[in-house]
């Protein structure tokens, strides 16, 4: 349960920290960064296997997958990757968090990667200045980030890995 709460608290903090940024947000122009937890919402582009069969409910299907995909940008996806609980009674649980940054920038100046780096920088700056999150978790000072080196214009991606120390439940000894 605690890793789930960490994911929620981190997502809320990122919404606050990145709230000052306005980035290209198709098809409406510029907009705020969306923060997704655990996964990016699935596009409603596939026709259900039962569609059109007798007795099956009619399904409204969005056939414009590209437009649906574009509506999700810009975003940060917050996802726990792995955890580690040692046998030591006083050690916290270590949880590795994966943050995927996605930016759409169709401008011919190709500034999308710059936007991605600014988002990553703001996140790193926040946790290097104050590693405590929600008064319950503590971020390690070591962070690793990477930029997508594949050219997927107008989509630009980067990722950040962080480790948080979180409370862990231990076996209770009722005779102690």
Residue 69 backbone dihedrals phi, psi, to 5 degrees: -65, -40
The answer to pTM > 0.85 is no
In the chain, what percentage of residues exceed pLDDT 70? Answer: 84
User: Is residue 176 a part of any domain in this protein?
Assistant: no
- What's the pLDDT score for residue 85? 86
Name the DSSP letter for residue 73.
-
Domain count of the chain? 1
User: Is residue 114 a part of any domain in this protein?
Assistant: yes
Dump pLDDT digits (tens) for 74-105.
Answer: 999 999 999 998 877 778 889 999 999 999 98
Full residue range of the structural domain in which residue 17 is found: 2-40+65-166
Dump pLDDT digits (tens) for 122-150.
Answer: 999 999 999 999 999 999 999 999 999 88
User: Is residue 109 a part of any domain in this protein?
Assistant: yes
User: Is residue 171 a part of any domain in this protein?
Assistant: no
Q: What is the dihedral of CA 30, 34, 40, 46, to 10 degrees?
A: -40
For residue 163, the cross-strand partners are: 96
Residue 140 is part of a domain; what is its CATH number? 3.30.2000.20
Coil vs helix vs strand at 117:
helix
Mean pLDDT for the chain? 85
User: Is residue 58 a part of any domain in this protein?
Assistant: no
Rounded CA separation 117/112 (Å): 9
User: Is residue 60 a part of any domain in this protein?
Assistant: no
Give the residue among 138, 171, 173, 168 at the shortest CA–CA distance from 1: 168
User: Is residue 172 a part of any domain in this protein?
Assistant: no
User: Is residue 55 a part of any domain in this protein?
Assistant: no
């Amino acid at each position: 349960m605690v890793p789930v709460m960490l994911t929620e608290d981190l997502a809320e903090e990122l919404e606050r920290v990145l709230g000052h940024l306005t980035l290209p947000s198709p098809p409406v122009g510029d907009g705020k960064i969306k923060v997704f937890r655990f996964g990016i919402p699935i596009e409603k582009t596939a026709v259900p296997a039962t569609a059109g069969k007798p007795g099956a409910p009619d399904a409204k299907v969005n056939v414009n997958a590209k437009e649906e995909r574009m509506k999700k940008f810009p975003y940060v996806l917050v996802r726990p990757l792995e955890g580690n609980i040692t046998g030591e009674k006083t050690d916290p649980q270590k949880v590795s968090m994966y943050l995927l940054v996605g930016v759409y920038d169709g401008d011919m100046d190709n500034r999308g990667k710059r936007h991605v780096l600014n988002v990553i920088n703001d996140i790193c700056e926040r946790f290097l200045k104050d590693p405590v999150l929600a008064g319950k978790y503590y971020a390690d000072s070591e962070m690793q980030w990477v930029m997508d080196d594949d050219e997927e214009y107008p989509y630009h991606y980067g990722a950040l890995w962080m480790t948080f120390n979180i409370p862990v439940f231990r076996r209770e000894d009722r005779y102690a």
